Amino acid sequence: MELDEKKYLYLLFILPLVVLVFLFNLYWKRKKQREFGDLEMVKKLSPESSVFKPVLKISVLILALLGLILGLVNPKIGTKMETVKREGIDIVFAVDVSKSMLSEDVAPNRLDKSKQIVSQIINQLGSDRIGIVAYAGSAFPVLPITTDYSVAKMFLQSMNTDMVSSVGTSFNEAIKLSSTYFDDKKTSKLLIMISDGEDHNEGADEAAEEANKLGIKIITIGVGTEKGGTIPLKRNGVVEGFKKDNNNEVVITKLVPESLTAIAKATKGGYVNGNNTKEVLEYVKNALNNIQKTEFEATEMADFQSQFQWFLGFAFLLLFVDVFLLERKTSWVKKLDLFNENK
């Protein structure tokens, strides 16, 4: 089961408030009756007043409100898994999560800017399969090849600079790990690398050449400024200082487009500056249009159907019934005598 509008679940807090209001009203009525006179005398003066009916009315009201809230949430039920045929390419996003990506020379910082770019690219994809790799001094598999874009975005947003323990940046490791994601030889392959270009290890050119031999095209996106910026050290969102080198000097990290351009050129791909998201999206869109699409099979949940109408129908039925539930005794309630009212 899938919930379409989870935000409306907060409305469930209304239900206990309704119960509290009902109990307070019941207490207030009893208090006033005692002030008026003896309770037994009050009952004799109002013989048709029912104790059971108010409880029934509030129960019906709560169930009706519950039905309305569930209707707004719109539960969906998937009936089966099925294999569908799609046409597209395989795309792996390799996102740099080294400490230099915390620099705020682009807003809000390089890493968050990278996430925004990847998320926007995913939004304009059609039937392509995507995967995600995180890398710093080593590479880490975040999400294998999938067609579930919502899951991909969830994993994307969870990425941070603490998920890879190795310091520095290694394009070599990122390209090698990303290459293992492409398990279908027939499908066109695209690796999109997002980084500030600071590579602290060797072997990137050789790894790019190997990727080219496997038919992998690489597009590199540079995030940051060539002027550079400091790397803030934060705790609970508050800057406590800036990263320093071994000489106790504040580190200035800069965008190095040359290294990213060299990697892209080795695979007949291209480099684009990532500071203007609109330009990046246009560049990637044009690149995708020039890559041949292939047909592949994907397994996904099918036949998700909205169920809100049942809950809303149930709620309106109960509200309709509630209109006719007066607080007076009815014949069938008298016969049940649930609260010993006939004594």
Instruction: Kindly list the structural domains of the chain, giving each domain's residue range(s) and its CATH number in brackets, ordered by start.
Output: 2-78+305-336 (no CATH), 83-299 (3.40.50.410)
**Is the per-residue pLDDT at 24 higher than 80?**
yes
Residue 215: C-alpha distances to residues 146, 267, 269 (Å): 20, 8, 11
Residue 123: C-alpha distances to residues 7, 117, 180, 217, 296 (Å): 22, 10, 25, 21, 20
- Which pLDDT value is given to residue 147? 86
- Which pLDDT value is given to residue 50? 59
Model confidence at 257, pLDDT cuts 50, 70, 90, reads very high
Q: What is the rounded distance in angstroms from the CA atom of residue 338 to the CA atom of residue 182?
A: 70
Q: What is the rounded distance in angstroms from the CA atom of residue 136 to the CA atom of residue 109?
A: 16
DSSP 54-65: HHHHHHHHHHHH
Q: Mean pLDDT over residues 21-30, rounded?
A: 82
117 with 221: CB under 8 angstroms?
A: yes
72-99 pLDDT, tens digit each? 888 877 655 566 666 789 999 999 999 9
176-204 pLDDT, tens digit each? 999 999 987 788 999 999 999 987 778 89
**Is the per-residue pLDDT at 328 higher than 60?**
no
